[in-house]
Structures are given as structure tokens and as C-alpha cells.
Chain A
Amino acid sequence: MRPTEQVLTAAISRLREHAYGVTIHAKAEELVDPRPLSFGSVYYALERLEEQGLISSRLADPGLERGGRRKRYYRLEALAERAPVSVHDLLHEATEELRKEAGRWSPNRPKPHPVRPK
């Protein structure tokens, strides 16, 4: 996943049922602050994520606001929920793995009996 896509999955995950273009853009900008994020790059990344099956979208019922135009709501799919949403999460996962690995080789752990050749 590209950095923008990671940020967007994090934004959608936080917004839950309120995730549509404007709110996703605002939340993503908040996450990457102070770096600016254009609307266009958000749509591009959303389309890519949808193509990969990481998110899905649906059009809501039309309302009076927004000139009567419908919102497209996005939600994370199971695959994206499992994916690491940021470099921090990735590092955290890697650290946990290393910790588990280190625990396996701790001095308190009983040593396995060597197999004596017959």
C-alpha cells in the first residue's frame, strides 16, 4: 500500500459510517498535517483502494444540501482491516514479532534434550 492509501484507510477506519469524500479528505489532512493533501489525490487513491478490494463504496440517498447530489460513502473491507495502517503500526508489529522471537530464546526456557545418534 502506498503512503496516501495507508493514510486514507486510517481515515476511513476512524470515520466509520461518516466516511465520504469531504470528511475523508479532512481527516486525512489532519493525519498528514502539516503536509497538504489535494482532493484529487484522495479520489485517485480511493479508486485504487476500491479496485484492490480494500474498500467498497455506495451512493447515499440524495439530500437538499450539496445541490441535491448524493454522497459516496466508503467502508473498509476485511482485507484492509487486517492491513497495517501506518508505518508506526508496521514497526509495532515487527517489534512484537521480535519480542516473541526473543522470548523463545530466553535463558529461563528449558533447553531441549539433544538427540543422541544411535
Chain B
Amino acid sequence: MEPEPPKAASGPPKVVEFLLGVLLPPASRESVLGDLHECYTSPAQYLRDAISTVPWVIASRIVRTTDPRLLLLEAFALYLAFVTSARFANGPKFLELWNAYIRLAIPVLAALFAIVVVDAYTSAEKRLFYVPAAIFGALWLQFVSTGTSSDWGLPSQSRLYGSVLGVLLVAALRALFLPGDHRTTGAG
């Protein structure tokens, strides 16, 4: 009888590892994936550990890379950009609508979400370029999803001027108060 060939070294499922690699912020990716790999005993246990770990790692990275004061300033700048654009591009009538100020706040929230995510997933030196791109992306995604005819959309002129002015203001704030990252190894 022939001896049984040695079994291939068991490890976590490659698909799950790949997905975790996408979800984890680059600054923590390698060490966290390695730690989870080291503790691997079965796919179910690996999945359980991953589910209980990944949200914490993302949250800790967001807490570390987000400067609440700067975020507040950015929120104010973006909101001001959209209110001003709506006032001058669509006249005071638009601002008299019952939900006008809420409608103007929706793109601001989308942009703030993009800012927080980009800060957590990119290194400090790349943020100056990625953040404006992410804001544009988030704003236009939000505009596409609500549309002009919707009760919650914005008129096209307000969108255009608001996003350009908002991105310029955020870029200026970033240039003045760029948040630092003390970690020795940058993301990416």
C-alpha cells in the first residue's frame, strides 16, 4: 500500500481572506490578517474571529485618522457652499421650500462619509489628492441616486456650483489643517 501524500497546509479560505483584505484599512491589513491566520483552527472559527475583529479595526482607524474639529469645519464649509449656490443659482424661492435645508444637507453627509473613509484608508501624504476626488465621487453618486425630479434632489445648477465650491473650500481647509498620522508605516 502506498503511503498517503502529505496534506496541504490548511489555512483560512482564500476568498474570505481576500474580502477581509479589501475591508481592512491598509495600515492594519497585514498584521491583522496574519494574526487571524495564526489563530486559524476551522473556517467557522476564522469567520467568527473576522466578524468580531474587522469592525473594531475599521473603527479604531477612523477614530485615529479623523480630526473632529476639522470634520466639523468641513461640514460647515460644505453646507455653506451648497446653501450659497442654491441661493444664487436658484434664487430665494428654493430656500423657502419646507425641506430645502434638509435637501442641502444630504450631499454634505455623503461628502463627509467619503472624507472619513478616505482618511482611514489612505496615507497622510495621499489624502490631499484623494479627498477632493472622493467628495466629488460621493456628491455625484448621491445626485444620481436622488435625481432632479425627486422631492429630495437638488437643481442641477446648485449641484454643480455647490460641489465645485465645496471641494475648493475643503481643499483649502485641508491645506491649512491637514490631519497628521503618527504611525510609522503608512497605509498602502
Contact indicator B11/A43 (Cβ below 8 Å): no
Contact indicator B34/A66 (Cβ below 8 Å): yes
Contact indicator B38/A43 (Cβ below 8 Å): no
Q: Which of A43, A44, A50, A71 contacts B183 (CB 8 A)?
A: A50
Contact indicator A44/B56 (Cβ below 8 Å): yes
Q: Is B125 an interface residue (CB 8 A)?
A: no
Grouping DSSP codes into helix (H, G, I), strand (E, B) and loop, the B interface class, with mixed when no group exceeds half, is helix
Roughly how many angstroms separate A94 CA and B17 CA in the complex, as a whole number? 48
Which residues of chain B from 1 to 56 have a CB within 8 Å of any chain A CB?
11-12, 17, 28, 30-39, 49, 52-56
Chain B neighbourhood of A66, CB < 8 A: 34-35, 37-38
Contact indicator A69/B185 (Cβ below 8 Å): no
Q: Is B61 an interface residue (CB 8 A)?
A: yes
| Closest-CB distance, B11 to chain A (whole angstroms) | 6
Chain A neighbourhood of B12, CB < 8 A: 67
Q: Which of B57, B182, B185 contacts A43 (CB 8 A)?
A: B57
Chain B interface, number of residues (Cβ within 8 angstroms): 30
Contact indicator B11/A38 (Cβ below 8 Å): no
Most buried by B among A20, A22, A38, A58: A22
Chain B neighbourhood of A53, CB < 8 A: 182
Contact indicator B31/A38 (Cβ below 8 Å): no
Q: Is B60 an interface residue (CB 8 A)?
A: yes
Q: Is A83 an interface residue (CB 8 A)?
A: no
Contact indicator A43/B34 (Cβ below 8 Å): no
Roughly how many angstroms separate A58 CA and B32 CA in the complex, as a whole number? 13
